[in-house]
Amino acid sequence: MAYWLFKEEPDHYSLDQLFSDKRATWSGVKNNLALKHLGLIKKGDQIFYYHTGKEKAIVGVMEVVKGPYPDPTQDDPRLVVVDVKPVRRFDRPVSLAEIKGNRKFADFALVRISRLSVMPVTAQQWAEIERMSEESS
């Protein structure tokens, strides 16, 4: 199992909407590096759900239920999608400011390549974000 972070504008598709839908196809990824990452994802991988825009915070966890396959809405075979389901909401979202303020994230793609929409997360980064989400504010 691998760990990932997906970014989305909550006004476009929020974690609450995913919980309501129970399952979704993650599409719309066009950046070459993000597509490369998306192509490496496997069923069972865990994903942090990051709300971009005004919120800028990791708000919960989802899981891959179907690995990469060609986007059925596109004519370009390199554009792939994955299917995800919600796992849980964080009691306390972990903000980008908190992540940037933590030395353990100096090499985290979220800090280094802020516009990337799909990125890997190491097991150590995952554990630290989980720990931070459980801290009282």
**How many domains does the chain contain in total?**
1
User: What pLDDT is stored for residue 135 in this prediction?
Assistant: 86
User: What pLDDT is stored for residue 16 in this prediction?
Assistant: 96
Report pLDDT digits (tens) over 100-129: 999 999 999 999 988 899 999 999 999 999
CATH assignment at residue 73: 3.10.590.10
Q: Which pTM does this prediction carry?
A: 0.95
Of 77, 55, 76, 63, give the one whose Cα is nearest residue 26. 63
**Cα–Cα distance between 24 and 131 in angstroms, integer?**
27
**Cα–Cα distance between 37 and 53 in angstroms, integer?**
22
Report pLDDT digits (tens) over 87-106: 999 999 999 999 999 999 99
Residue type, 88: R
Look up the domain containing 69 and give its range: 3-134
Cα-to-chain-centroid distance, residue 116: 10
**Cα–Cα distance between 130 and 117 in angstroms, integer?**
20
Report pLDDT digits (tens) over 7-51: 999 999 999 999 999 999 999 999 999 999 999 999 999 999 999
**Cα–Cα distance between 1 and 135 in angstroms, integer?**
26
